Amino acid sequence: MDTSGARTGGSLEGILVADFSRALAGPLATMLLGDLGADVIKVERKGIGDESRAWGPFAGGDSSYFLSVNRNKRSLDLDLVDEGDRLAAQELARRADVVVENFRPGVMDAFGLGYDAVIRTNPSVIYCSISAFGTGTGAQHPGFDFLLQAVGGLMSVTGTETGGPTKVGVPVVDVVGGLYATIGILSALREREVTGLGQRVETNLLSSVLAMLTNQSSAFLTTGNIPRRAGNAHPGLAPYELFPTADGDIALAVGNDRQFTELCLVLGRPELSADVRFQGNAARTDHRVALRDELIQALAHDTAVHWIARLETRRVPCGRVNDIAEAIALAEQLGLEPTVTVSRETGHAIPQISNPLRLSRTPITYRSAPPRLGEHSASLLEWLGQDRPGG
């Protein structure tokens, strides 16, 4: 990667982020800002910290969940019921370029940290609120990713036709919500460069999951038909699912007629591409079951490795079903540098999945490992003018 003229501090160097969020959506957003160079101060509940610190599995006393979204941050533990700690939090919000919170609507207002209070003393602040169901009639409903996958429709299209609804294997709604929050914050920062004024950025997890459903939600809006579970099959492409071979499954993702013709040639079944039932994606989708039967018969004659090697030479998208270790190994093999190690001051090295962005002039930086609870409280409180007794 050419980094000539690169700025070592990152594109958001000099941006101060007051992170009052916890769990996943908010912390993911603030970690991404930190990766881009922002100074992120993570405000945590005194003595308890971010709830995700207690979520397993654990490694060396650390929650792997917490570690996944909290690098490049300093931890400030506060009790917002305490007047001194509350004043410190308010002063932090006054100095911040960005405030991020994902409390239930109204909680931050109770501590003098809501948008209306902060904007009075800090009119240039970007104030991002992430909620589960918005700030209207759903404001008081708590929400976790699993619940949002259920009520947001994602489970209804995830799983097999004959089985029950199932969640995606990662908290994908939180992840998407955090990404939308990051986009909103970056957009507001850019607008502030023009006007000098801050603004409120809001997103919610229900809207995020509906947007994430993309082609499925669009299919309902345009046709009136409600999408259903279809296992690994694609609702509008074929063949586009898992197929068994002589020794294991492979994923075929055929997206156009050229790829389908090449697939048929590799399998020694060129007549399939000339079959009227399979000419064009619409026809293949209509005759998905018959096509699947034909392909299963052809693939049964050899191994997954054999077919993948041959199909890749003809640029037919295909691959094994990797576990996470195998997926990381594949990325390493391709030179994608999927992992990074970030060390604490104690020398303890913490492995992390690297940020997928590659920026030629303002590269991603990994300056500090996920902090211990209250690790930076003493110095930060002194900076905020609220020294803690005995600290």
Tally: H helices and E strands in the chain: 16, 13
- Measured CA to CA, the distance from residue 111 to residue 88 in angstroms comes to 11
- Measured CA to CA, the distance from residue 100 to residue 128 in angstroms comes to 5
Length of the chain: 391
Catalytic residue among 109, 174, 257, 293: 174
Tell me how many degrees the CA angle 63-69-73 measures, rounded to the nearest 5.
Answer: 100
Q: How many other C-beta atoms lie within 10 A of the C-beta of residue 10? A: 22
10: nearest Cα among 368, 384, 375 = 368
Specify whether 174 is catalytic.
yes
- 182-186 long-range contacts, CB within 8 A, separation 24+: 182/28, 182/29, 182/32, 182/33, 184/128, 185/29, 185/33, 185/98, 185/100, 185/126, 185/128
- Measured CA to CA, the distance from residue 29 to residue 341 in angstroms comes to 20
Q: At what angle do helices 257-266 and 304-313 cross, to 10 degrees?
A: 130
- Measured CA to CA, the distance from residue 356 to residue 358 in angstroms comes to 7
Tell me which residues are annotated as active site.
174
